Structure 1
Amino acid sequence: MKKRSLAILAGGMSLALLLSACGPASTPAASPSSEPAGETQQQTAEAEPVTITYCNFNASGGNEETLQRMYEAFHEEYPNITVEIETIAMDDYFTQMQTRVAGGTAPDCYELNIENFASYANKGVLAEITDVDLSSLDETALSAFNVDGKQYGLPGNFSNVVLVYNKDLFDQAGIDYPNEDWTQDDVQAAAEAIRALGDDIYGYYQPLTYNEFYKACAQFGGSLLNEDKTEFTINSPENVAAAQMMADRVLVSNVQPTDVQMGGMGDWDLFMSGRLGMIPTGIWAFQTFTDGCDFDWDITIEPGEVQKATHFFSNGLVINADSEHKDAAATWITWLASSPAAAEIRIEAGWDLPAVNDEETLASYLDITPPDNRQAVFDSLDYLVVPPVIEDYALMSDIIGQKLSAAANGSITVQEALDQAQSECEAQISLS
């Protein structure tokens, strides 16, 4: 487990630097009515009954019951605090939260992903979190939600992406299983061998979307911004090569199905049907695959090109600066992020991982099968890549995503797509 600490250190430091760079250098403006959140948890436990509201997106689509179990365990420990939980699908979540925050109707506490955290913190709509016990949380994960030395969020979880593969299809094709030494050339060769098994069998699935693109860029030695984040580098040769590889797998070799060939089926559904050889996807898929696959599957570190790179995700738990119940909110999110009970429930459910520093708690994760090679989850932490966070992150990702979609369906070339994305980002977004 020592490797994990070192890997998180590198990832956490990068996140902290990104967050500090994407907003004003000054301390975020505080709401006139805001006060730091957090009496001691014992004081909160002895307080009068209180009801708070909590919004999240991460439990949507399969973990609503897991979150409810966490709340029930919390409520046994803090019976005076009632939490009204609202889970909103990711597609609608940030639009709703933006409207609620602007309209003064935001919940007492809520969840933010890394990409959106900095803009909320720099607008002064989050309460500083103080006087709570954070000793069980990973220090560098905490730093991802710290701005100018003040804690405006707690890391509620962390997760990453691995390569999941269908062992049965590899056996049928007579080829070796993927391993940590694989490159994209190995992926392509295996995908072609599996594709040859049948007209409706495919080797690989990685959509040409923004999130997959910035990771592939890193694997090819590229990035979307220059080193000091003052210029866009969207159409660099490395990035073009990464996107071309992704597009060619659909349009040329067809080891990856087109949208028409998918017939409305989701990527996880295709894998669980037994007709997909490999898919890079998040560790939150494990329980779904365990329940839905009637074949043997396992995982390994996601292959790279000139270097390996894989996604790192963490969601911050934050408190509304205008909440009238900051202390109760602080008690809830601290428990949710750091308590052993919440960590055990999260791990047992196969959701994602708690950002705690208790190696014994995390070690229990390795005992759960499938997959057999869960160690790859921790080994992958040596190769984390974080999104290029800027204040206009949503606009940048939308522009790039739209151009990639056009390239994916063949209506424009990859070079044209990235040239257009470069020009539009330069015209619409200031990096100064």
Structure 2
Amino acid sequence: MVKQSGILLLIAAMAVISACGSNNGNDSNGNSSSTNASTNGSSDASANESQEPAKDPVTIKYLTYTANGGQENTLKSMVEAFEAKNPDVKVDYEVVPYADYDTKLTTLISGGQAPDVYELGYENFRKYAGKDLLLDLTPIISADSSFDPSTYKKLAYDAFNYNGKQMGVTESFSDVVLFYNKDLFDAKGVKYPDASWTWKEELDAAQKLADPANGVWGTYSPFQFYEFYKTIAQNGGGVFDASGNPTINSQANIDAVQWMIDKAEKYKVSPAMNDDTFSQPDADLNAFMSGKIAMARFGIWNFSRFKDAKFKWDIALEPGNTQKAHHFFADGIVASKDTKQAEAVWKFMKYFTSDADSVNKRIAAGWSVPAVADDAVLDAYYKQAPPESKKVVIDALDSLVLPPVGPKPEKWGELQAAVTEQLDKAKFGKISVKEALDNAQKSVADLLSK
């Protein structure tokens, strides 16, 4: 009996131990609890997933020059706002003075340490894209259902397209428009310029507004290379054709340059070409500020210069002959071809160039003008007067003219010098306009053949 009892006790103990190890799917009441266990296990797994520590944010390096000299705090604020909206991305940025920027960037790229994202002016963009240094954003953009290119003014967005590939995005821009002295117009009863004006209407108004006895000129534009390529575009001309062949001595270009000279030498509505006064730095700006020029083509960066003028003034689109054409000086943001953080870089590029928060910070700080298309987003900019017609600045983007860097962007400086040399000869009457442009055509063709 004792032996039998011992066996029974051992069996009982083993059963208890077994029960402690597992309830075999039964609850304390002997009911099946397999569903409950499964639910608890799933719940625990979900909890573990949701409580997994967040991945460390990726860091992208950004090199910039436009913030230098007064907008460093604006940049800092924009970066902080971006990081708040995108906690998975950190931005390590460096501000470099413009004079040192190209050297700094070239050194980094040569050393295999290119920043993930960086600024480039349009002319340098063409050079860097031609050297295959930039990331093709086209696949990323195509996959981004939240992105709409129409957020930007179309021609401004297309400016950073290279050979059919979107290689950057316009960050900000400046352009040139027609400034006019409303008081001088009112005194002569002349209608203000509007978008319908051509060179003919400009000349008609200038002849009425010019007052030689009081030293007042009807209209003014500088005579130099940048004005040349914009003015010939207003007459349907250009420096290159669609295939990249120089067309400098086309008849449209000859007529346009003659018009530039005739305003001074034939119609006497502009200062004489040999007027040393207007060859001095800021002489034209000072003359307008003094009420001595009725109309002038100036860059929008001069708005602040004229804010305290003692007369009323405003801006309008520039008159063209066969079409409108306006300068477009753009800074864009591009990505390094070697970046390992393409998605993060694209988030940053979108925010920095078009997000309403970013745009508002730029406008409030008076930093630069983004090339966005939404008037509601730009409303704060439009309200910063003078000038009253601030929207003209954005409207000019519909007829922008890109710097004609041509098929060899690295020769841009030499191209300018070659054309300028001949324009100066025509300006002072040493040779005819046709001879000057024939010479320039040959010089540029020779330059591109090397």
| Band the TM-score falls in, shorter-chain normalisation | 0.7 to 0.9
Matched to 2:421, the amino acid is Q
CA contact (8 A) 1:81 1:328 kept: no
Question: What are the Cα deviations for residues 129-186 of structure 1, in whole angstroms up to 9, with x where unaligned?
Answer: 5768672653645443244665431221244432111112223444332222322233
**Aligned to 2:390, which of 354, 369, 374?**
374
By how many angstroms is 1:84 displaced?
A: 1.9
Matched to 2:127, the amino acid is S
Question: What are the Cα deviations for residues 383-425 of structure 1, in whole angstroms up to 9, with x where unaligned?
Answer: 3333444222404333223322333344433222211101111
Partner residue, 2:57? 47
| Deviating more after overlay: 94-103 vs 336-345 | 94-103
CA distance in 1, matches of 2:382, 2:60: 37
Partner residue, 1:426? 445
| Deviating more after overlay: 269-278 vs 417-426 | 269-278
| Counterparts of residues 1-400 of structure 1 (less than 5 Å) | 46-47=56-57, 52-57=61-66, 64-66=69-71, 68-78=73-83, 80-88=90-98, 101=109, 109-129=117-137, 135=147, 138=151, 140=154, 141-147=156-162, 150-196=165-211, 198=213, 200-226=215-241, 228-229=242-243, 231-252=245-266, 253=268, 255-256=270-271, 258=274, 260-262=276-278, 264-266=280-282, 267-290=284-307, 292-321=308-337, 332-349=348-365, 352-393=368-409, 394=412, 395-400=414-419
Segments of structure 1 that go 5 or more residues without pairing to the other structure are 1-42
Decide whether aligned partners of structure 1 residues 121 and 379 sit closer, same or farther in structure 2, where only a CA change above 3 A counts: closer
Decide whether aligned partners of structure 1 residues 103 and 201 sit closer, same or farther in structure 2, where only a CA change above 3 A counts: farther
Partner SS for 1:164: strand
Matched to 1:135, the amino acid is F
Larger Rg: 2
TM-score (norm 2): 0.71
CA distance in 1, matches of 2:445, 2:425: 19
Decide whether aligned partners of structure 1 residues 204 and 312 sit closer, same or farther in structure 2, where only a CA change above 3 A counts: same
By how many angstroms is 1:246 displaced?
A: 1.1
**Aligned to 2:427, which of 408, 418, 421?**
408
Please tell me the root mean square deviation across aligned C-alpha atoms, in Å: 3.7
Question: What are the Cα deviations for residues 215-262 of structure 1, in whole angstroms up to 9, with x where unaligned?
Answer: 211222222233x42532211222111111212334452613656112
CA distance in 2, matches of 1:354, 1:377: 11
Report how many aligned residue pairs link the two structures: 380
CA contact (8 A) 1:165 1:277 kept: yes
CA distance in 2, matches of 1:324, 1:268: 48
CA distance in 1, matches of 2:223, 2:270: 14
TM-score (norm 1): 0.73
CA distance in 1, matches of 2:121, 2:106: 13
Partner SS for 1:110: strand
| Deviating more after overlay: 367-376 vs 194-203 | 194-203
By how many angstroms is 1:280 displaced?
A: 1.9
CA contact (8 A) 1:55 1:107 kept: no
Decide whether aligned partners of structure 1 residues 127 and 306 sit closer, same or farther in structure 2, where only a CA change above 3 A counts: closer
% same residue: 35
Decide whether aligned partners of structure 1 residues 101 and 402 sit closer, same or farther in structure 2, where only a CA change above 3 A counts: farther
By how many angstroms is 1:196 displaced?
A: 1.5
By how many angstroms is 1:302 displaced?
A: 0.9
Partner SS for 1:377: helix
By how many angstroms is 1:120 displaced?
A: 0.9
Segments of structure 2 that go 5 or more residues without pairing to the other structure are 1-52, 85-89
Matched to 1:220, the amino acid is N
By how many angstroms is 1:378 displaced?
A: 4.3
By how many angstroms is 1:314 displaced?
A: 3.3
Partner SS for 1:429: helix
Instruction: Tell which has more relative contact order, 1 or 2 (C-alpha 8 A, sep 6+).
Output: 1
Partner residue, 1:40? none
CA contact (8 A) 1:235 1:422 kept: yes
CA distance in 2, matches of 1:105, 1:193: 60
| Deviating more after overlay: 355-364 vs 335-344 | 355-364
Decide whether aligned partners of structure 1 residues 278 and 350 sit closer, same or farther in structure 2, where only a CA change above 3 A counts: farther
By how many angstroms is 1:361 displaced?
A: 0.3
Decide whether aligned partners of structure 1 residues 338 and 415 sit closer, same or farther in structure 2, where only a CA change above 3 A counts: same
